[in-house]
Chain A
């Protein structure tokens, strides 16, 4: 008998009597003031949050960074230099100098400041992590109250990979002192349109 069979057989012998699976749809959803709740929560987690009327401030920022000679990769529709698709097959070594990546988030969660970013919107899975700085653009309408609402809106296996991002990379592993910017991005800026 191989290990798979042995494990499954032992579970069959040892498992307790069947317990029904509970529903997960009866939790309190606080829907008032989603925008401010989201902004406050994300700010508390070390992110920056700016409410904008349209994409113009994002365009201005990207231009500014590029003029400084920094490598910026853009993955938001409506921005003229949307080039994220062309980096799909780049290796991490080739992407290690990237300064800023701009991506679109599809669902944002007020309660914890998390934003769902899919593989197709990041072009290359490593981009939101290897970049020194990350910018996520979201629509105000995409903010939901909590994780239950978020999972109703997304299909986690629609693509090969997806991630909730809720701030810049951080650590408190040295004597519990919070340091923003561990191995991933040193900063996260969210633009809410």
Chain B
């Protein structure tokens, strides 16, 4: 395996060096998870909702071509221009062409994980355009030249002091004023001017309704609406799996989405766009970027049911203790770990191993994606395809040889116990990653097998 630029376990080690901050990250996300539980428990038939949402998404995947065409014709009838993009590059080019055709210089963008996936900001920046991320968390990380570390809470890796320093540098706020209200108001002042003086707005899409040819965008800040309604051009970018069949399905998904994400009953704004306002252009870019390939993998296609709530992040013991950046993918966490290898198996081969396979992600998923099983399946596939790395492969082969032969097993057990009691340093050293943050257990004097034989002899 060639060395990738970033490796999850190396990044996690770096993240854990600041013990206090790592503990805060862990506790804060667990608190969000607890809020999710509280919100879910208030709905008497929560499990029926999850089951229905899961079935609606399964139906959608099984009928995706039909639904996309239905959506397209309804959207066109509504006066929306529909574009199709095979990959991220084509998506970026489509957006760029719309912007240049309309002589756009300044763009405001609300949260869209798809545009992160396609690296649209970077692309437009190279073309000399100004793109401002307007979700507060995304705005903060953009000023810091960082990536969002969580799909719902983009700046969860930062503390008030970090934000204060960033805003002091870029927005000239008072030095060391860490009051969240003061900082939020400072950003509000700047961003409200950006909204009304931009030339175009880009938003994501939470749900696109095939039956009506419209789409729904959910925000708490109102930034998608301020951008979309203030500008002559609105471009909405979505992965093709964001389709749902009926308007009535929104009732199911909007009840699940925010309760799963943050424990809120619903976002402050759930905006339903169907037609451009008078004098406005509205565009939708439908993006594949590997989704049709994932649809063809029976073990992994269920990952396309994801509604991007982030519940699996908040509950994951590995995500909470390693931070979003360690996943080196626009979508981090357990769901990111099963989506990323489809985009690039080699570069993301480490991610399915960044899990304890405890299954908590699967338990909280509002659309019942079998995330932990897919993590395990990716491991099988990655090893088979030769992306597991020499160390993992050798270890697995050795283990298979030892566990597959009783004579070797008994002999190596005996040797292991002797070595561990005579020379513990031989196994408990810095070259053995198993002993990082772990204490050496005292080796037993004999195996159960030996004990049994001895005691039977004494009978």
Contact = CB atoms under 8 A, between A and B. Distances in A.
B229 A125 contact: yes
Nearest to B276: A160
Interface string B43-56: 01100110010011
Interface in A136-193: 146-148, 150-152, 155-157, 159-177, 179, 181-185
Given A4-B84, A169-B268, A16 B61 contact: yes
B306 interface: no
B64 interface: yes
B360 interface: no
Select the residue from A28, A109, A119, A160 with max chain B CB neighbours within 10 A.
A160
B155 A174 contact: yes
B254 interface: yes
Nearest to A17: B62
Interface in B336-372: none
Interface in B237-264: 240, 245-252, 254-255, 262, 264
Contacts of A128: 225
Contact of B295 (A15, A45, A172, A185): A15
Given A27-B45, A45-B264, A183 B223 contact: yes
Contacts of A15: 61-65, 295
Nearest to B231: A92
Contacts of A175: 28, 158-160, 163, 180
Interface residues on A, range: 35 or more
Interface stretch (A51-59, A60-68, A73-81, A110-118): A110-118
Contacts of B90: 3
Contacts of B181: 179
Contacts of A11: 64-65, 68, 240, 292, 295
B226 A24 contact: no
Nearest to B189: A183
Interface in B73-97: 78, 84-86, 90
B61 A93 contact: no
Contact of A183 (B49, B64, B221, B277): B221
Contact of A21 (B56, B180, B230): B56
Interface stretch (B113-121, B191-199, B413-421): B191-199
A112 B134 CA distance: 25
A28 to B, nearest CB: 5
B196 A93 contact: yes
Nearest to A169: B222
Looking at chain A's contact residues, the main secondary structure is loop
B221 A171 contact: yes
Interface stretch (B207-215, B320-328, B378-386): B207-215
Contact of B248 (A24, A167, A176, A179): A24
B140 interface: yes
Contacts of B213: 157
Contacts of A177: 160, 180
Contacts of A27: 45, 48-49
Contacts of B105: none
Contacts of B266: 109, 112-114, 147, 164, 166
Contacts of A8: 65, 68-69
A183 B192 contact: yes
A82 B192 CA distance: 26
Contacts of A17: 62
Contacts of A159: 274-275
A71 to B, nearest CB: 16
A182 B195 contact: no
Given A93-B196, A114-B266, A125-B277, A22 B52 contact: yes
B213 to A, nearest CB: 7
A129 interface: yes
A126 B59 CA distance: 36
A42 B247 CA distance: 24
A96 B61 CA distance: 43
B319 interface: no
B268 A170 contact: yes
Contacts of A146: 251, 255
Contacts of A160: 78, 273-277
A96 B229 contact: no
Contact of A6 (B86, B225, B278): B86
A124 to B, nearest CB: 8
Contacts of B221: 169-171, 182-184
Contact of B55 (A19, A30, A93, A156): A19
A13 B52 CA distance: 26
Interface string A1-34: 0111011101111111111111010111010000
B250 A147 contact: yes
A106 interface: no
A154 B301 CA distance: 33
Interface in B153-201: 153-156, 158-160, 163, 180-181, 183-185, 188, 191-192, 195-197
B265 interface: yes
A126 B229 CA distance: 5
B226 A184 contact: yes
Nearest to B297: A14
Interface of A: 2-4, 6-8, 10-22, 24, 26-28, 30, 41, 45, 88-89, 91-93, 96, 109, 111-114, 119, 124-126, 128-130, 146-148, 150-152, 155-157, 159-177, 179, 181-185
6 A-B pairs closest in CB distance: A184-B222, A160-B275, A14-B296, A173-B137, A92-B230, A112-B265
23 contacts: A10-B296, A14-B292, A15-B63, A16-B301, A24-B246, A28-B44, A45-B264, A45-B265, A125-B229, A147-B255, A151-B248, A156-B209, A156-B212, A156-B247, A163-B271, A165-B268, A166-B266, A166-B268, A168-B268, A169-B220, A170-B268, A174-B184, A184-B225
Given A6-B86, A169-B269, 5 more contacts: A91-B230, A162-B272, A167-B268, A179-B180, A183-B192
